[in-house]
Chains A and B, each alone.
Chain A
Amino acid sequence: MLISFELKMLFRNPFAWVLTGLLFIFLLFGTYYGTQRVEKQKTTIAEVQTKAEKFYQEKKLLLDSIEKGWREPEKSWYKDPANPLPMGTFRGAGWYVVLQPAPLAVVSTGQSDIFPFYSKVAVGNTNAGSDNDHFENPFSTAIGQFDLAFVLTFIFPLLIIAFTYNLLSAEREQGILRLLLSMPLSVRTWLFQKLTFRYVFLLLLSIILLAMSLGIFGVSITNFSFLQLSAALGFYALFWFLVAFSVNLLEKSSAVNAMILLGVWLFFTLLVPSVASMLSSTLYPVPSRVGFVTAQRDAESEAEKKHEEIINNFYAKNPQFLKPANEKEQTWRTRWLERFAEKEYSEKIVGKIRIDFEEKAQAQRHFADNFQWFSPAIFFQNTLSRLAKTDTETYLDFQVRTAEFEKKWTTFFKGKFLKDEKLKTADYDNLPKWEYVQN
Chain B
Amino acid sequence: MLQAKNLTKQYGDFKALDALNLDIKAGEIYCLLGANGAGKSTTINLFLGFIAPSSGSVSVAGLDVAAQNLETKKHLAYIPENLMLYPMLTGLENLAYFAGLANKKYTENQLVGFLTEAGLQSEAHQKRVGAYSKGMRQKVGIAIALAKDAKVLLLDEPTSGLDPQASNEFSSLLLKLKDKGVATLMATHDIFRAKQIGTHIGIMKQGNLVKSFKTELVSFQDLEQVYLETIK
Contact = CB atoms under 8 A, between A and B. Distances in A.
A181 interface: yes
B228 to A, nearest CB: 31
Contacts of B97: 1-2, 5
A5 B78 contact: no
Contact of A186 (B70, B85, B100): B70
A359 B103 CA distance: 64
A189 to B, nearest CB: 9
Contacts of B103: 184
A2 B98 CA distance: 10
B89 A8 contact: yes
B101 A185 contact: yes
Interface in A174-231: 174-176, 178-186, 190
A179 B89 contact: no
Interface residues of A, number: 20
8 contacts: A12-B128, A13-B88, A179-B83, A181-B50, A182-B78, A182-B154, A183-B98, A185-B70
A176 B93 contact: no
A8 B93 contact: yes
Secondary structure of the B contact surface, majority rule: mixed
A179 B98 CA distance: 9
B80 A179 contact: yes
Interface of B: 48, 50, 70-71, 73-74, 76-78, 80, 82-89, 93, 96-98, 100-103, 128, 141, 144, 154
A104 to B, nearest CB: 38
A1 B88 contact: no
Contact of A182 (B73, B88, B96, B100): B73
Query: Across chains A and B, which 4 residue pairs bring their CB atoms closest together, nearest first?
Result: A175-B84, A182-B78, A1-B100, A184-B73
A124 to B, nearest CB: 72
A250 interface: no
Interface of A: 1-2, 5, 8-9, 12-13, 174-176, 178-186, 190
A182 B84 contact: no
Contacts of A1: 97, 100
Nearest to B141: A179
A12 B128 CA distance: 11
Contacts of B93: 5, 8
A283 B122 CA distance: 73
Contact of B101 (A13, A174, A190): A190
A260 B46 CA distance: 32
Given A5-B93, A174-B84, A182 B77 contact: yes
A68 to B, nearest CB: 85
B50 A184 contact: no
A194 to B, nearest CB: 11
A9 B86 CA distance: 9
A178 B101 CA distance: 14
B48 A179 contact: no
A8 B144 CA distance: 20
Contact of B76 (A2, A178, A182, A190): A182
Nearest to B45: A178
A397 to B, nearest CB: 53
B70 A184 contact: yes
Contacts of B144: 179
B84 A2 contact: no
Instruction: Output the residue of A13, A184, A185 with the most chain B CB within 10 A.
Output: A184
B78 A2 contact: no
B89 A2 contact: no
Contacts of B70: 184-186
B53 to A, nearest CB: 17
A183 B82 CA distance: 17
